Structures are given as structure tokens and as C-alpha cells.
Chains A and B, each alone.
Chain A
Amino acid sequence: MGLRGDAAIVGYVELPPERMNRSGLAPFVLEQWAELSAAALDDAGLPAESVNGIVTSHLAESELFVPSTIAEYLGVDANFAELLDLGGASAAGMVWRAAAAIELGLCDVVLCALPARYITAMSEKKPRALTDAVFFGASSNQYGSPQAEFEIPYGNIGQNGPYGQVAHRYGAEYGYDERAMAKIVVDQRVNANHTEGAIWKDTPLTVEDVLASPVIADPLHMLEIVMPCVGGAAVVVAGADYARRSKNRPVWIKGFGEHVPYKTPTYARDLLATPMLKVADQAFGMTSLTRADMDMVSIYDCYSITVLLSLEDAGFCEKGKGMQFVADHDLTFRGDFPVNTAGGQLGFGQAGLAGGMHHVCDATRQIMGRAGAAQVADCNRAFVSGNGGILSEQTALILQGD
């Protein structure tokens, strides 16, 4: 099972995130899709005419027929046009679907874009419905939705509460070291301090700062939680012929994993056995590589607890020993176990759905040797994770340079 590994990420663009509450009016999301595509293709040095596949997420301007709307707008004759709805797991999910489409011979070059500047022009002549998503986050409040009936009325809304529940359960089963949890954020902040465009580039952070920030949902502090930003990111995935012609060192997609067992963690069989257990085994099983072969890992980090559980369940440390692992290792770009070398979303900023693509771009920058002051020496192999909802849909990629 798996990929041959002869499709590669050959170009990318990642906009510097802006704080949601300070962001200006953005072009329509469909227009952002086009701009991100042009920038990523320019980075790759490949002509737009070479594109014959697209993978997207939702568009603010179109609820249905999204892939064909994008193909038409871009003028792409798509042999493969896919809409993905896996939240923060979408980005890695888009990349493996693009690689699979290329390996099947359907496509030569596939665009994967996640525009994420959400404040766009409105017209009084076409008022936009204030959707439930604004207040109920990833839950549906529509009649007949299980969330509307059994979750939302009890305040089980959004992400902070459920992730707090996960962290509390972890503490009850394995013990809890809030300084280790804070260190995840602090080490990543060092990486952000060395990354152009990071929202926290110029703001250092200490463990004491994290623990002094207000508790939002016990036991999680504000600084263990991503700050809402806007931005956008895109990657170009190409087959071997085009990859050899691109400007950058190709980042080959060697393995992937995906697992989607539930929507709401209340119904997880075991709240602490995340889908990453299967995801990582599936991804590594497609390759001849081991965990120890990874030169860096980029782990989806909407919350500190997500990083901890993902490191454990992906097999980088023993289950229940993640706090000790984090305390014992230097997670910065210059450390013995580099994690989220561009700051992660906690340090770089979470530009909405593009947050998942941050980790793809992070690993890609490192393997291409373009990480600047945060470059990991001799970086050739990386593990990338994606996470959607509340540990409810997860993905992974294993990437390798020549």
C-alpha cells in the first residue's frame, strides 16, 4: 500500500499572518485562490499552463460546485478537482491526494491552495447570511444535527472546552507537568523569533509568561492556544518530469496517513488514543524510513496538548512520557529534536484553514534549504502532521529531499 514517492512539492507560498481583529478588507476568496496559485507557481518556476489538477477547501463565494468554479476561474482543464473538508487536517490531505493523482497518471502538476483572509467585500444588494459558524465554530446548530441536539445546548462548542477536557483526562491518566506544556510553546517561540513573517517574530517568551497568562479552559492557558489570524498558503505538487525542471530542490512525498474516526471527542473510544496512532504507522509503513530518520517534525499545534499527544501517538516518544520527553529535549531549530521550526501556529500564527499548510510549508522550507536563520543543518527528511476538529481527523506526510 502507498505511494511510489515520485511526486514532489516544488513550490510554495505562505503569507505572513495578520491578526484577525486588525486585518483589512481582502479580495474575494476566489481571487485569493488565483493570487496564491500564481505566487506558488512562480516560486516553483513552472508555467500556469502546466496545471491540470486542483485540490481546494470551501469558498466564501460558493457553497456548491467549488472545484469547477475554481477550475473555470483559473482556466485550468482539470483531470482531478477535489474539495476537502478535514479542517486542519486538510492541508496534508490535499498534498497526498495531489501526489496520488500524479502517480495514477491523472495529472502532471496540481495546485493545493488554502486562502484564509476572511474579511471580504460585502454588498447591501447581496446581504450575506450570518452563519452559525461564526458563533458555533465547527459545530452545526441545524435541526437534525447531533451537535445541535446533544452538544451545543450544554456549551460543548468550539475548541477550547474540548481540548481542555482532553488535557484534564491526560493529567488524570498520566500526570501533568504544566511547565513542560509551557516549554512546548516557548521552544516554538524561539523558532518564531528566527522566522520572517511570524506573528511573534519580535516577542520572546518564557515558561513563566505562559503560566501567567489567563486560564481559558482548565488547564489550558491563553498562550497555549493559537491566536486567530488571517493569511493563506499554497503548494505546487508535480510529477518527476516537472519536478526536475522546477527552481527548487524537490520535496518528495514518500508516505502519508489519514484516519477519521469521529466528530466530537465525547464519542471517542479512548480520548487519549488519537487517530495519529494509525496515521503515523500507515505513513511510515509506505516508506523504508523510521522515526529516527526524521531531521525535523512539523506537528499541528492548535494547542500545546495537541503537540504532546501527536508526538506520543506518532511514536516519537513513549505513550504517557511526552511531558518528560519535552522537558528532556531542545525542540528549537538548533536543538536535538527540532519541532515546528518556523514557530508552529502558536508562534507563526494560525491563519484559519491555512494553519494546516503552515506545517507543510515549514517542512518544505527546511528540506529546500530556505529556512533562513531557522535552518536545521543538513535537513533531508521531515514528518508533517495535520489535525482537524478535536483530534477527530488526522493526517500525516513523510517528505524527503534527494
Chain B
Amino acid sequence: MSMTFERPMPVKTPTSAPFWDALAQHKIAIQYSPSSDAWVFYPRVRAPRTLADDLVWREISGAGTLYTYTVARRPVSPHFADAVPQILAIVQWDEGPRFSTELVNIAVEDIEIGMRVRPVFVDYPEHDVTMLRYEPS
């Protein structure tokens, strides 16, 4: 018996829809809590820490720095069997929050923690979703 494993794709929720809808337009929007002057990611119904009910959506550039990364030499699951070596990255946006993503368009030996990175928008029309990856800027 052979099993096929489709890539797990993001499915937006009522709360997160503005983030995914912005990505579809190749823009990045995240939440901001004015009462604590804090940017928030991932999308929530209330601000973490204060639980303030004042979250608003704001567009950001998406520019950031590479906080850390690893290179998965073995597939992280059968769904990613064709993805190795996969560069699993954490990007810190200039506004502060961090984002789980993948680095693309770079050789492994050229990666440096702290390097500047910029968004790469990858459209998946068959899944009605745009994913956000990163490359050196």
C-alpha cells in the first residue's frame, strides 16, 4: 500500500482572514494594540498579556532580520519528503513579532543569523492561499 501525503496548507479563520487576504494582494498586515503600543502576531481576538479589546490591523513592510534557522536534512514529515534540504527559519519583523517561515533563493553556506531578509509571496491558487517566505534583501 502506498500512501500519498499532500502538503498541509493554511486554512484561514474569521479571525485571521485579514492577514491572509492581505497576503493575497502581496501585502502584509498584522495586528496592533494601541493601549500597550504592541504589535501582535499571530492574529488573535484580544491582545496577549493585557487581553485588551483594541486590536487593529495595520500594514507593515514585512522587512526583517533572520533570528535563527536550521536546515532539515531529513523530511520533517512525509508531507515534506520532496522539500529537503528545507531551510526552516524564524524571521523577526522590524516591528518586533517573529514569524515561522522558510528561507528561499539562498545557498545554505551564505546564511547568517542577523542578516536582512525580505518577503517572497508564493501564490497557491488551487488552495486559494498565498504563503509568505523570505529571501536575502
Contacts and interface: CB of A to CB of B under 8 A. Distances in A.
Contacts of B13: 143-144, 149
A158 interface: yes
Interface in B11-27: 11-13, 16
A218 interface: yes
A227 to B, nearest CB: 14
Interface string B58-73: 0000000001111111
A168 B88 CA distance: 12
B128 to A, nearest CB: 13
Interface residues of A, number: 39
A127 interface: no
B90 A148 contact: no
Contact of A149 (B12, B108, B133): B12
A266 B73 contact: no
Nearest to A166: B68
Interface string B39-77: 000100000000000000000000000011111111011
Contacts of A146: 42
Interface string B121-137: 00000000001010000
B78 A154 contact: no
Interface string B75-113: 011111001001011100000001111100000100001
Interface string A27-66: 0000000000000000000000000000000000000000
Interface string A112-145: 0000000000000000000000011000010110
Contact of A150 (B9, B10, B89): B10
A151 B100 contact: yes
Given A155-B88, A169-B113, A266-B98, A148 B68 contact: no
Nearest to B44: A146
Contacts of A271: 67-68, 90
Nearest to A156: B100
Contacts of B70: 160-162, 164-165, 167-168, 217-220
Interface of B: 5, 7-13, 16, 42, 67-74, 76-80, 83, 86, 88-90, 98-102, 108, 113-114, 131, 133
10 contacts: A135-B5, A135-B79, A144-B13, A149-B11, A160-B72, A161-B70, A161-B76, A218-B71, A266-B99, A271-B68
